[in-house]
Structure 1
């Protein structure tokens, strides 16, 4: 069982990654789009977040490769870091496609996806804060909540696809919307991957 020492640098690095992903998801959820030009700016900003996230992952991998000991399994540290970064990659991909399609309307379903993804990253940060304090068992509550948000996103996907086929007549727009909804659902799945990794860390170390 892990002892109550000062925060481990690996756990601190995971918290930094979590906070970066959280910040980017809040940005994605809060942006206001009034024109294609606005959409381009948002897409560029999210790409900057994604690039900065890649740098944090690279720094963590370097640390793993040069450290003799780690507080938990190296594989678990790397897996949860990559899962968090996947969330950022997913949202960047969504916004890039939104910009590519020149769709400035964020419908109610996209909004619901984004809110629940954002809330998931809030839970991830809380879990990583507990990890830095080595309060592993308490992390489970946040893993459970993340999975609940993902469940909500599953329902949103089913409803959005159903309503899309009822409302939309343009086949090109149907293809575009379906792609966007599924990208957001994939991003919610990445949040669930983080929750699964949290539970693995608890199981192996608590």
Structure 2
């Protein structure tokens, strides 16, 4: 039988919940960037950078707390993994927003919009699940749905690449669209890695 000392300090979970809320804010701004005209996109990208800075601050806050705490509510490596994976999700969203602005791409294909919609839904599900990390209960629907969304995003990504090469004639635009869609695809993959980490930890803690 395994005995575990479980401290009452909930601040680790508060930080993770705050990080997940940053993901929702970031995804909402990314949607706005898609729908904005060229003149407004730069301002929105600046707002996205601010959210990324907030997310970085949350991650560093958790890492500092890990270094200062002797007994943690979850294994140290697991807490680090959750924070690092959330940070990856934010980084890829920020990267995609940056590329859209820097490449001055104009109107984006519908399949890129579909990728961003999947990212936004992944962020919302993560924020809904984050408070339940305290007990590791009722999380199965979260990781199952994230996995389904990742599969959907994979299909959109492959179809998008096919559409780009079939219908785009400008080599520069092809490269730009491919870079943007790849960043979005990596963002969804990061959400799946986060969900897989939650599943692994939940099984271990059960």
TM-score interval (norm. to shorter): over 0.9
CA distance in structure 2 between the aligned counterparts of 1:79 and 1:185, rounded to whole angstroms? 20
Could you tell me which residue of structure 1 aligns to residue 149 of structure 2? 149
Structure 1 gaps of 5+ residues are none
Q: Does 1:34 align with 2:37?
A: yes
Map 1:74-89 → 2, pairs under 5 A: 74-89=76-91
> Contact 1:33–1:104 (CA<8 Å) still a contact in 2?
no
Q: Are the equivalent residues in 2 in contact too, given 1:39–1:104 (CA < 8 A)?
A: no
Runs of 4+ in 1 over 4 A off after TM superposition: 1-7
Distance 1:97 1:66 in 2: 38
- Aligned positions, number: 203
2:120 to 101, 118, 127: 118
CA distance in 2, matches of 1:54, 1:27: 17
Listed as ranges, the gaps of 5+ residues in structure 2 are: none
Match of 2:138 in 1: 138
Q: Deviations for 1:97-137, whole angstroms, at most 9, x for unmatched residues?
A: 111111231321111111111111111112212113x1x24
> Structure 2 length as normaliser, TM-score?
0.92
Separation (CA, whole Å) in 2 of partners of 1:28 and 1:127 = 21
Structure 2 counterparts to residues 180-199 of structure 1, below 5 A = 180-199=180-199
- Structure 2 distance, partners of 1:26, 1:53, is 15
CA deviations on 1:137-195 (whole Å, 9 max, x unpaired) are 41121011111111110000010001111110111111111111111100000000111
Separation of aligned partners in 2, 1:123 and 1:145: 8
- What is the RMSD of the two structures over their aligned residues, measured on CA atoms? 1.9
